[in-house]
Amino acid sequence: MANLHYSLAGEGRGHAARARSLVDELRKRHDVTIHTFGDAFSFLAPLYAGTGVRVEQIPGLRFEYDRRGRVDYLHSTAKNLPVVAQLVRRHRGLVERLRAESADLVLCDFEPSLPRAARAAGLPVLAVDHQSVLAFGDLSELPRHLRRHAAFLGAFVKRWTPRPTLRVSSSFYRPRLRPGATEPVRFVGVLLREAVREAIPTEGDHLLAYVRKGTPAAALEVLRRAPLPVRVYGRADLAAGGAIQPMTVSERGFLDDLASCKGVVSTAGNQLVGEAIHLGKPVLAMPEPGNREQEINAWFLDRSGAGISLDFDHLSDRTLARFVEDLPRLHQRCLQLDVDGTRPTLDLVESAMAGALSGSRSTNGTAAARTA
């Protein structure tokens, strides 16, 4: 049994869903402590209460949005400076804690404080995230403007966490390794929790929509006029009316609605797009305005043939109706794609932990021999 610490970013549901798929398996054999904040903490803390998995709230960086719903990078930087200061102040205590608890391995999903502490404590680090694809994937087929954005974001990703022992990059489009990349990287599909892998898809009469607080009002009005009922998650403040049926956040309810819907209307987050494709559900993806990572996801979704993408400003009664009409063709393409990367990732994590435990036993044995 290993002692595993796992930190993850808290924005949206993607990081938490990835963590869930791994932790549910790892906790059967290992001690697991999760460090996170925001949406991920709110989702995971009650889920693992009383299970032996510790879920601890930490300071975390969040995006800020302007009045048009676009990611405001300048405002985000200003708002997050005090959080960075908090992370710096807690570094030494975190290093001492990892040593005191005899941690064996650290996993991180785009969260910087724990892997930095792990490196200072001399522990192996596995980065299991989606963002590494921007730094190490061969994205040469992207249009020029998206290649520029990917290069800029990739440089940031490399510096966000210290060089890990291994990067495991999870994405539904699984690119090749970028020529010239020197870090150890493995590309896998989307990480799917057991309930998703075992879900039996059916075809109901509704669309499922996942929207964020920055979703323009005009786009929501288009959903109200949709030709099918739309079960909306992510906006508890919405009033019911027209085709919109606001849904209370519920893991089981969301999965049931996803497995039984005709198609998905959502932002272009990697995790939900991958889950939908796995279940044979076409996606109409609208990248969050200003979110370049989602713009890249959306381009690859178009390329896959399992869905279509457009800007929020271009969502109209006509484009939504076209998506609904095209659902049978898109569904057939979903069935041809294998996007599940769960088993290969678990194998990589277990292998890393076996190596960490072997190294720890070797070190302890040497120390004991010297003492004798």
pLDDT digits (tens, 9 = 90+) for 250-280: 889 999 999 999 999 999 999 999 999 999 9
pLDDT less than 50: residues of the chain: 361, 363-372
How much is the pLDDT for 366?
Answer: 40
Q: Which residues contact 6 (CB under 8 A, 6 or more apart)?
A: 19, 22, 23, 32, 33, 34, 35, 106, 107, 108, 109, 114
- Which pLDDT tens digit goes with each residue over 81-102? 666 677 778 889 999 999 999 9
Burial status of residue 314 (CB atoms within 10 A of its CB: 0-12, 13-18, 19 or more) = exposed
The helix/strand/coil state of 209 is strand
How much is the pLDDT for 80?
Answer: 64
How much is the pLDDT for 249?
Answer: 79
How much is the pLDDT for 62?
Answer: 64
CA distance 224 to 235: 14
CA distance 4 to 128: 14
How much is the pLDDT for 64?
Answer: 54
Tell me the domains of the chain and their CATH numbers: 3-191+341-356 (3.40.50.2000), 195-335 (3.40.50.2000)
**243 contacts 267 by C-beta, under 8 angstroms:** no
How much is the pLDDT for 76?
Answer: 59
Q: Which residues contact 172 (CB under 8 A, 6 or more apart)?
A: 189, 190, 270, 273, 274, 277, 297, 300, 301, 304, 337, 339
Q: What is the strand order of the sheet 207-210 is part of?
A: 244-246, 230-233, 207-210, 263-266, 283-285, 307-309
